[in-house]
Structure 1
Amino acid sequence: MKFISIVVPVYNEEENIEFFYQEVCKHMEPLPYKFELLFVDDGSSDATPLLLEKISQQDSRVRGLIMARNYGHQLALTCGLDHADGDGVITMDGDMQHPPEMLPVLLAKWEEGFEVVQTIRISTEGVSWFKSVTSGLFYKLINAMSKVHIQEGGSDFRLLDKAVVQSFRRYKERARFIRGMIGAIGYRQALVEFVAPKRFAGTSKFSLRKMMHFALDGITAYSKLPLRFAFFMGLLFALISFAVTMHVVYIKLFTLEAVPGWATISASILFLGGLQLLGLGIIGEYVGRIFEEVKQRPLYLLRVELKQQQKE
């Protein structure tokens, strides 16, 4: 009988854990698979770790990995994938926006021979127009800049074959954009569409600041275009500056009129200075990522692993 690992990163989800656990069991138990629920607690400050300890003691199919601090959603997912032992591994969020009733659909596609079964979120109930618009713009931007295509509406709700998980573990970069990494790995992929319901309880922990960091990681991890943009902009304005300089020299040497445009000169200097700072900022983002990579620190640390104690 095939064994399925379900990896669930959680952060301050005490209101959702037990209901999510019950729903997953309800949809997995009728299927012809053994399965485990692998919760990865990303440094929660509420009662989430206590609830995971309680559930793991009651059900041997449940394990809890408690991270030493909050590392972020992508590293929590990585931790779960590193510890998953299943023939197939499903990653999903624990707030019920990744519907457990979709699990049989993903497994059916896997049985058809697809090594990656990726869900595509058509829409999300109750999501703001701002998040919908910015999400769409992000995917259009990154696909225009990157050689690796990232499916618009893609989520971290997917099934990976064991072979794909083993390939994923060979990727060691710190700034992780897993949607791009899975796209770069390849393998045979199937797409499954779904409508994400509202959260069962609580509020989203994915703030605007985290969204911006996530987008920046995705762009800098899979595109050098910002660096080229800074280079070509610098080249363009260097040529413009040279032309303006030649014009000023001509006026000074061959006419009786001196250039009175102090305001224009000041504005030009400020504009070019701002452009240089923009270029340095873009370069700094990439240099900062090089700095993080060369330190070779562990991606994450675990404080404790929760599982049912074996009876003697």
Structure 2
Amino acid sequence: MTGFRDSAADWPSLRVADWVDTRDTLHMWMQVVGKVRLALAPMVNHWWQVPLYLSARGLTTSLMPHGRRSLDIEFDFCEHVLHIRSSSGDARRIRLAPKPVAEFYRETMAALRELDLPVDIWTMPREVEYAIPFEDDTEHASYDPEHAHLFWQQLLGAHRVLTEFRSRFVGKVSPVHFFWGAMDLAVTRFSGRTAPEHPGGAPNCADWVMVEGYSHELSSCGFWPGGTGEGFFYSYAYPEPAGYAQHAVRPADASYSPEVGEFLLPYETVRTAVDPDATLLEFLQTTYEAAADNAAWDRHRLEGAPA
């Protein structure tokens, strides 16, 4: 990394309890948009065609094909607008403001039809215990623009460090992407070996979805805005090798959670560190080593040192 940064700007404070209503509504809005991407994008291994991506203003689908035309959809957390843009030059804007998921769903589908880009999606949310079809969801209706903007800033800091961590691996590695199912920013490294069939079990998600996602041995890490405090950075391995949970990792506040089968590091630990980026990199590196060393990955072949 190149020197210290202004951690107050790069790593803002945002307690989960203070924005949980906005978070849960935004999660469902993201699932609406994410399912549009799922419906349009060609299949890629591990479902890499479905996530959203960080942009200079929020989160975007990136370019999606629609017949001979293309479009993208972007959550703009600076102007608080959903942009729907067609390759023909036409566009629609949907205001991000307190409104039920059902209204957001109707507005998004109507805008796509107006652009002559209709899309049919399955309207049941995925990977959540309490799932309400989008068209019937009038319970989630909160949106605080300040909190949405702070969350995006949290993601920007995490994305910057995850991108640097990703650059150190020359084996198969995912993009840094935002999975709208669980609402987490993640990057995943692979050993190159196949994995035993995943048992599934994610709520409102078919087991075969998880089988595809975890078809190969991996070490995955990221940021999740849930739990207590201000969210967590996490790291896990599939399959989890013997000795993984007992492996020494850093910094001192990092620990293995038997309940979720992951190493966790509180966001606050990173935010309040003298060098937040270096602190997070230390967590990512040592938890990756817990997976790679205990599962005997060929680290010499898989790791690199970009100039």
Instruction: Return the structure number with greater helix share.
Output: 1
Please, what TM-score do these two structures have when normalized by structure 1? 0.21
TM-score (norm 2): 0.22
| Bigger relative contact order, structure 1 or 2 (CA pairs below 8 A, ≥6 apart) | 1
